[in-house]
């Protein structure tokens, strides 16, 4: 019998649909680019939801700072703190066995410079157990990415629309439109690859430009509102599952109507309590 290194064997399987039980690593992500295999990523903010996605085979889970508006009741991602990120990232790691868990560095946790970025990324790695961190910015964040990668912390970059800059944008506009903006996006993509990032999120950029970035990089591109030609696609889970209250961005596809379903369940429970139908005999002890 030929000996097959189990790690090597699994790395040759698909990121989605693979049956291996060990945790996905950044090496597996790199190998998928070589196979031109597309893969899914979702956000998660708690252990229970994370375990659902892990058991569904989602290979990469992002503890996004979108927890600010999706989970913690803030208006945007701007107020999210390192303590909040560390707490919820640890919960997501505890809820998963296979997924690579990526922790977002929140606004204000890396802008001061590489040393601040390393201090806070180290917290997420040591306290929460994440396998990688994500931070926003291309050329402007290259020095931070470089020090984290040199220190042994894998980094996912995030360019195009960077929501932590919502106050500077005055909203969430599409990025990279026009020749000058397109050239800047290409420079940002090259800068994060050169700094050592293992993947890069492209948010709200024209599909043609995202395709060009994906072709010109050897690291994975993860699209959100960036067309069909990225190596991976990410959505905020509450948007994907129809749990978000109110309007969702145009790039979102809803695969369930959990908000309606959960509300229906709560109303049915309330009706039963008010009408005396719950608890019934089988729910009672004597
Ligand atoms: N629930 C949720 N989903 C997200 O995708 C998300 C968050 N929250 N919070 C952090 C950021 C903010 N994001 C957003 C928010 C709004 C739009 C939006 O409404 N965009 C317009 C396009 C604007 C234009 O045409 O210039 C849209 O209609 O989709 C996009 C991304 C993405 N992220
Ligand atoms: C939308 C993704 C890429 C993100 O950064 C987040 O959820 O915070
Ligand atoms: Mg984020």
Q: What domains sit in the chain, N to C, each tagged with a CATH number?
A: 6-255 (3.20.20.60)
Q: How many whole angstroms from 101 Cα to the centroid of ligand 2? A: 13
pLDDT of residue 1: 53
Using the atom order of ligand 2, give the atom closest to the CA of residue 134.
5
Establish whether residue 57 lines the binding site of ligand 1, counting it when its CB lies within 6 angstroms of any ligand atom: no
- The catalytic residues are 203
In contact, 278 and 266? CB cutoff 8 Å: no
Mean pLDDT on 65-69 = 98
Whether pLDDT at 190 is above 60: yes
Q: Nearest ligand, CA of residue 252?
A: 1
- Exposure of 125 in the CB half-sphere (CA atoms within 13 A): 17
Establish whether residue 236 lines the binding site of ligand 1, counting it when its CB lies within 6 angstroms of any ligand atom: yes
Using the atom order of ligand 1, give the atom closest to the CA of residue 64.
10
Neighbours of 148 (CB within 10 A): 28
65 is in an annotated binding site: yes
For the chain, give the mean pLDDT.
Answer: 96
In contact, 175 and 181? CB cutoff 8 Å: yes
Rounded to the nearest 5°, which phi and psi values hold at 121? -65, -40
pLDDT of residue 13: 80
- Cα 23 to Cα 28, 99, 200: the distances in Å are 10, 6, 20
Establish whether residue 78 lines the binding site of ligand 1, counting it when its CB lies within 6 angstroms of any ligand atom: no
Neighbours of 168 (CB within 10 A): 7
Neighbours of 149 (CB within 10 A): 15
28 is in an annotated binding site: no
Q: Residues 6 or more apart from 79 whose CB is under 8 A from it?
A: 68, 107
The H or E element that residue 132 is part of is: strand 132-136
Rounded to the nearest 5°, which phi and psi values hold at 213? -60, -45
Alpha helices in the chain (DSSP H): 6-11, 26-34, 47-55, 67-70, 82-94, 114-123, 142-150, 166-169, 179-195, 207-216, 237-240, 258-275
Mean pLDDT on 1-24 = 71
In contact, 222 and 202? CB cutoff 8 Å: yes
264 is in an annotated binding site: no
pLDDT of residue 3: 61
pLDDT of residue 4: 56
Token pair recorded at residue 181: 């903006």
Whether pLDDT at 119 is above 90: yes
Q: Is 2 left (phi over 0), alpha (psi -120 to 50) or beta?
A: beta
pLDDT of residue 59: 98
Q: Where residue 11 falls among pLDDT bands split at 50, 70, 90?
A: very low
Q: How many whole angstroms from 118 Cα to the centroid of ligand 1? A: 28
Which has more confidence, 1 or 152? 152
| Distance, CA of 162 to CA of 254 (rounded, Å) | 23
Establish whether residue 239 lines the binding site of ligand 2, counting it when its CB lies within 6 angstroms of any ligand atom: no
Mean pLDDT on 186-204 = 98
Whether pLDDT at 2 is above 70: no
Establish whether residue 69 lines the binding site of ligand 1, counting it when its CB lies within 6 angstroms of any ligand atom: yes
| Distance, CA of 158 to CA of 180 (rounded, Å) | 19
pLDDT, tens only, 211-221: 999 999 999 99
Q: How many whole angstroms from 251 Cα to the centroid of ligand 2? A: 13
Whether pLDDT at 286 is above 50: yes
Q: How many whole angstroms from 119 Cα to the centroid of ligand 3? A: 19
Whether pLDDT at 256 is above 80: yes
Whether pLDDT at 196 is above 60: yes
Residue 170 exposed, middle or buried by CB count within 10 Å (0-12, 13-18, 19+): exposed
Residue % of the chain over a pLDDT of 90: 93
């Amino acid at each position: 019998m030929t000996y097959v290194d189990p790690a090597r064997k699994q790395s040759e399987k698909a990121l989605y649909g693979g049956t291996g039980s060990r945790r996905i690593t950044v090496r597996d992500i790199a190998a998928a680019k070589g196979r031109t295999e597309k893969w899914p990523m979702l956000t998660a903010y708690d252990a229970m939801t994370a375990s659902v996605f892990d058991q569904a085979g989602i290979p990469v889970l992002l503890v996004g700072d979108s927890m600010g508006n999706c989970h913690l009741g803030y208006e945007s991602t701007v107020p999210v703190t390192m303590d909040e990120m560390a707490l919820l990232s640890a919960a997501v790691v505890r809820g998963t066995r296979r997924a690579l868990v990526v922790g977002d560095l929140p606004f204000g946790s890396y802008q001061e410079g590489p040393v601040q970025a390393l201090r806070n990324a180290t917290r997420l790695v040591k306290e929460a157990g994440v396998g990688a961190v994500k931070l926003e910015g291309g050329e402007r964040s290259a020095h931070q990415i470089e020090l984290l990668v040199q220190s042994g912390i894998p980094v996912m970059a995030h360019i195009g629309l960077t929501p932590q800059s919502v106050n500077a944008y005055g909203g969430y506009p599409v990025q990279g439109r026009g020749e000058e903006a397109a050239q800047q996006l290409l420079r940002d993509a090259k800068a994060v690859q050169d700094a050592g990032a293992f993947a890069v999120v492209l948010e709200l950029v024209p599909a043609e430009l995202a395709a060009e970035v994906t072709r010109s990089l050897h690291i994975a591109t993860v699209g959100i509102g960036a067309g069909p030609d990225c190596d991976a696609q990410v959505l905020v889970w509450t948007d994907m599952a129809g749990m978000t209250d109110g309007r969702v961005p145009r790039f979102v596809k809803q695969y369930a109507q959990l908000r309606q379903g959960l509300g229906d369940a709560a109303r049915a429970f309330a009706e039963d309590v008010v009408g005396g139908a719950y608890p019934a005999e089988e729910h009672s002890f004597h």
